[in-house]
Amino acid sequence: MTKKVVIIGGVAGGASTATRLRRLDEKAQITIIERGEYISYANCGLPYHIGNVIKERNALLLLTPEIMKQRYNVDVLVNQEVIKIDRQNKRVLVKRKDKSEYGLDYDKLVISTGSSPIRPPIPGIDSSRVMSLWTIPDTDKIKAYVSDSKVKSALVVGGGFIGLELAENLKALGLKVTLVEMLDQVMTLYDYEMAQLIHESLEENGINLILNNGVASFEDKGQGVNVTLKDGQVIYSDLVIMSIGVRPNSDLAKDANIATNQKGGIIVDDHMLTEDPDIYAVGDVIEVEDFIDKSRTMIPLAGPANKQGRIAADNIAGIKSSYDGTQGTCIVRIFELTAASTGYNEKYLQKQGLVRNKDYHTLTITQNSHAGYYPGATPLTLKLIFSNDGKKIYGGQIIGRDGVDKRIDSIATVMRLNASVLDLKNLEFAYAPPYSSAKDPVNMAGFVAENILTGLVKFSDWDVIEKNPDLQVLDIREEAERVAFSLDNTINIPLGQLRERFNELDKDKDILIFCAIGVRSYNALRVLRENGFLKEKVYVYPAGTRFYISTHYKEYQMEDHTAYTVTDSGHQSDDKAIASISLDCSGLQCPGPIMQVFENLKTMAPGQLLEVTASDPGFTRDIASWCRRTGNTLISNEKIGNSYVAVVQKGGAAVRVPELAGTDGKTIIVFDGDLDKVLASFIIANGALAMGRRVTMFFTFWGLNVLRKPNKQKVKKSFLEKMFGAMMPRGTSKLKLSKMNMGGMGTAMMKYIMKEKNVDSLDELIRKAQKAGVRLVACTMSMDVMGIKEEELIDGIEFAGVGSYLADAEESNVNLFI
Ligand code: FAD
């Protein structure tokens, strides 16, 4: 007897069921009922059609009802909605567009009704300018509105993957885009610190990112909408797109008394069968088994929906295949970044009551997408979470520019096969320099996991420094690297000198080791541990400075984007300075490019130009601050295609920073170490810089105390130098007012009032001055006289004699002695 199979919903799950079933059963009478106009379309491609990346609308239509009929002999009834399931009579009630209704009998029914975007009852949400993206007609509507109404701005509500894809694609159309997210991060699948990499990219690409804020109301205003946020701020936007999640289309099932969970997900067994032996359900509308812990969950994704459709078809055709759960592997592109994840994140484990280093471990590494020496390698950051015994991988998150997809798929596969984290070491991947490294990042994750499990290494939290300000931070990078980026109050011992300089470290205090990506830190940790430093007191900052900067990108943003603009011209500009030497550092990971620049400049004559090409995105930031701090001139700093190209002029005091060239610089001699005078000098310096003037501050005699680190440094001094050092104030917190000090009371009052009135503290003024490019020069002659050593002064300052100061003074029109 011919089996009548009715499928409700004709896109991912529904179309899969129909085509598979036809291949298994030529005789079945298969009917798809779809309430929309289209079946089997590429909903995942919709955001890219909006951004004109997928130019042809037809490319989204994978199968038409006609082709379904011709190729698969499947009847497709579009623009018809199933409004009731009559389980007793095994019949569905269908409503046509003209509102007429009819009944259709089934032997087997498949529900693949998907989900719909959530639109909460926010005042004003019914405005025609507040849209959602889910279907082809939604796409047509948004596209038409953007072009017909000459839309200039868009506000996307919700930072999930569709929200992010929309933000990127609307930006590609030239719109001013704001993304509003209620939580403190976008993409909740990622742990907070990993999401910072996405935030950084969004902001770098000009998205106005608003976190920790929801929408309170919408109000039509002129041609657009006034969006009032929960904190009261109002943002005008020509277009709003809601993208805050989905809910399953399960009302039909509920009305037919088919069991659903609390979220409305239809409950099915592993053959996709509901509690009714003749009704199957697949896709976004069902509750699935979580692959990892076998709990029940809901994960709306295209891959699972398609596979479930195939399994439902198998079972209808008599093949007992079963679905073994969803692990939530997914991937999204955010401008030049790709972010992918599989399984659980750490937040989820903690919510389940699991404790890091007791129940599970994490590792975070930065590795190149392929061999560093082959052009085009870019760093990717990989976080892996695994059980305390290493037998189970709970999840992985990877963010980078290239090669993210294959690494996440390897990890997802290993998880699927229930392999252990140590199996990652042994995976044999195809390798040639353009594709990978002999030790692939996934292998590296396995090696690091083994080191953690065997106690060879211990990692810190990504925010350990702010949580523990008294920590001894050992920066084992080379001097040239530290010029580009350094943290305050670190002990600087390059790895090569560590064995000779243990005595500079306090063995009783915790030591955090810091390097560019974490590899040298691990070596340093081993050196220390092998030399008697206690296991529990020495640990490594995960993934190094690159990760630190991205996770703290807000603090370092200004440095990048004020003095230098990174253009993305996509081609070399015509008026580009001609460099005498070209250096290709593509593939070299931080600190490689900076070290190469450093080495090459040594052999060049002052004034000569060096063009450097790098693939490491962090190079842009590094080269800007490196030049600023070393007295070399950054002529240009561009993004050209996927490369970062900087032209550096050796020296060039006359043109240190292009924007600030001229003879209207300001030089300030800071001679006195009184708090009020020093404050005044930094306020003037920052003000002059804000006016586009070049500023040099020359610290001499008592002024040197301003630059002293607050902690005592282990340096060799004569008896007299020690005495002198002990008598002088060490750092900003010890400076006193020149008048009305009153045994410290006046100074304390001044600091209190400054805080009350929101005046920056001296430390903040110094930090801002350094970041903005004020040249802080310590007079080497007075340092010698006063017995102050370089190591005792804060990072990021220059050491020079009076000649350097005079050279700057000659190009200045204001010279202050404070
Ligand atoms: P759908 O494919 O949504 O199909 C359900 C169909 O049922 C709809 O066409 C609907 O009109 C119809 N229907 C509902 N009720 C009735 C009724 N009563 N009568 C008749 N017809 C009915 N997933 C990924 O894995 N990766 C991605 O990159 C990705 N990107 C996406 C981008 C966008 C813009 C969207 C919208 C989704 C994206 N998804 C992505 C999610 C993915 O498309 C869904 O998980 C998948 O389509 C679910 O398949 P489904 O069959 O359950 O539902």
Q: Output the DSSP codes for 249-273.
A: --HHHHHTT--B-TTSPEE--TTSB
Mapping DSSP to helix (H, G, I), strand (E, B) and coil, where does residue 635 land? Answer: strand
761 or 137: which carries more pLDDT confidence? Answer: 137
Q: Which tens digit of pLDDT belongs to each residue from 405-416?
A: 999 999 999 999
CA of 51 to the centre of ligand 1 (A): 20
Q: Which of 443, 427, 334, 332 is nearest to 384 (CA)?
A: 443
162 CB within 6 A, ligand 1: yes
- 639 CB-near residues (< 8 Å, 6+ apart): 566, 567, 568, 569, 620, 645
In tens, the pLDDT along 291-314 reads 999 999 999 999 999 999 999 999
Q: Is the pLDDT of residue 558 over 50?
A: no
Closest CA to 301 of 254, 260, 340, 259: 340
pLDDT (average), residues 768-782: 82
Q: Does the pLDDT of residue 531 top 80, yes or no? A: yes
Catalytic status, residue 779 = no
Query: What's the mean pLDDT when you consider all of the chain?
Result: 89
Pocket test for ligand 1, best of 63, 139, 301 (most atoms within 8 A of CB): 301
Lowest mean pLDDT among 469-483, 647-661, 704-718, 757-771: 647-661
Q: Tokens 């088994």 identify what position?
A: 289
Of the residues 44, 330, 515, 590, which is catalytic? 44
Q: In DSSP terms, which residues pair with 580 in a beta bridge? A: none
Q: Best substitution site from 20, 35, 83, 131 to test ligand 1's pocket, by max atoms within 8 Å of Cβ?
A: 35
Ligand 1 nearest-atom number relative to CA 134: 36
CB proximity list for 783: less than 8 A, separation 6 or greater? 704, 789, 790, 799
- Model confidence, pTM: 0.76
Which is the closest atom of ligand 1 to the Cα of 36? 11
Q: How many CA atoms lie within 13 A of 312 on its CB side?
A: 34
Strand partners, 340: 331, 398
> In this predicted structure, what is the pLDDT of residue 75?
98
Say yes or no to pLDDT of 655 above 50: no
What average pLDDT score do residues 27-37 get? 97
Instruction: Check residue 803 and give its pLDDT.
Output: 67
What pLDDT does residue 369 have?
A: 93
Secondary structure of residue 329 in the 3-state scheme: coil
Q: Is the CB of 787 under 6 A from ligand 1?
A: no
Which residue out of 43, 53, 77 has the highest number of ligand 1 atoms within 8 Å of its CB and is therefore the one to mutate?
A: 43
The size of the chain, in residues, is: 818
Across 190-204, average pLDDT: 96
**Mean pLDDT of the region 259-279:** 97
745: exposed, middle or buried (Cβ count in 10 Å: 0-12, 13-18, 19+):
exposed
CA of residue 182 to ligand 1 center, whole Å: 25
- Evaluated on CA atoms 777, 780, 786, 788, the torsion sign reads positive
Q: Which pairing describes strands 643-649 and 609-614: parallel, antiparallel, or unpaired? A: antiparallel
pLDDT in tens, 669-698: 999 889 889 988 988 887 777 666 788 898
Residue 452 scores a pLDDT above 90: yes
Which band of pLDDT confidence, cut at 50, 70 and 90, is reported for residue 733?
A: confident
CA of 7 to the centre of ligand 1 (A): 14
